[in-house]
Amino acid sequence: MKGFLIRAYCLALVPVLAVLFPATGCRKTSPEVAVIPRTTATLLWEPMHLGVAEAAQQSGLHLYWNAPADEGDAEKQMSLFEACRQGRYQGLIFAPIETLAARTAALKAVAQRKPVVVVDDDFGPPPGPYLSYVQNDEAAGADMAAARIAQLLPHGGAIAIIGIHTRLESGVTRDEQFEQALARRAPDVRIAVRNFGDPVVTHQQQVAAQILRGSDHIDALVAMTAIATRGAFYAKLSSDPHSTIPIIGFDQDMLLPIQTGDVDAVIAQDTRAIGAAALQNLNTMLHGGSVPGMTRIPPLLLTRATLASPAIKRQWEFVDHDWSRQ
């Protein structure tokens, strides 16, 4: 009788133990994916962080987000990419700093059948089951910038272009499409000065300062990257007498200069939508589905008049997001 009671007690205890200590073989973990932008903690990339985080939560994916502190540190970015490619991450979202450096690394991941979504660059290899592209619509952005120039200079004039990004295929494309759009939108506006860009704000400030006080008269300045836009703003801020030349920038980095009018307009990437689309593509590829080879997201026009619009304000909602879950 005593043995029977002991056996009965043990049998009754089994369900309790199963609840308290579930078998490790049955434990499920969320798939992990890595996102490597060009840098972090900026108005350009943190909305993308929010976009991928929201989409990852909806898809049941765990997110790893990391990037170089310096947007020009291509070597550091490639080290991060390689570590993630060789690690436990099942897929990668990648915004290359340099096209050529990124191409080989991404193709290695594709060869492993590890899905890659390339953001904000088109570096050559055609899309396929393990490679897709999500980009800012550069043609639409170029047309926005050209339309703004046409509005500012209805009777023609001269402009300077700085910050042409030659290390990214998308940077070269942006400049080409802007010049084509300018010829259509404002045929009486000529390009008096062209300068290539780099990832150093102080150098871009020097370039812009030389243009603002130079002998070549210009009526507007177009900055092709966020770094060049910041450099142009600093140059204008320190000019004496204070320059009134309007600045048209690309890729959001600062809001106050737009509010004060020191920067007339910025053609902003909708990186929150870009991030969401990239994560959705990656999740679909992880499950063997097909996605568009190229997805283009329309940009936004930031001006003093549009800063309070819902489409633009939603870009800054990353400030209030609960980042404890990612």
CA-wise closest residue to 37 among 91, 74, 89, 90: 74
Q: Where are the domains of the chain?
A: 32-136+270-297, 138-268
The pLDDT of residue 143 is above 80? yes
pLDDT in tens, 238-281: 999 999 999 999 999 999 999 999 999 999 999 999 999 999 99
- Separation of alpha carbons 157 and 186, rounded Å: 9
The half-sphere exposure of 145 on its side-chain side, counting CA atoms within 13 A, is 36
> How far is it between the farthest Cα atoms of the chain?
108
- Separation of alpha carbons 225 and 233, rounded Å: 12
What DSSP string describes 82-123? Answer: HHHHHTT-S-EEE--SSHHHHHHHHHHHHHTT--EEEES---
SS3 sequence of 272-297: HHHHHHHHHHHHHHHCCCCCCCEEEE
pLDDT of residue 101: 85
CATH topology of domain 32-136+270-297: Rossmann fold (3.40.50)
Query: What mean pLDDT is reported for the chain?
Result: 91
What CATH number was assigned to the domain covering residues 138-268?
Answer: 3.40.50.2300
pLDDT in tens, 62-113: 999 999 999 999 999 999 999 999 999 999 999 999 998 899 999 999 999 9
pLDDT of residue 7: 43
- Separation of alpha carbons 196 and 292, rounded Å: 33
Answer yes or no: same fold for 32-136+270-297 and 138-268: yes
* Strands 300-302 and 265-268, bridge-based pairing: antiparallel
The pLDDT of residue 11 is above 60? no
Q: Is the pTM of this model over 0.85?
A: yes
pLDDT of residue 30: 78
Phi, psi of 118 (to 5 degrees): -95, 125
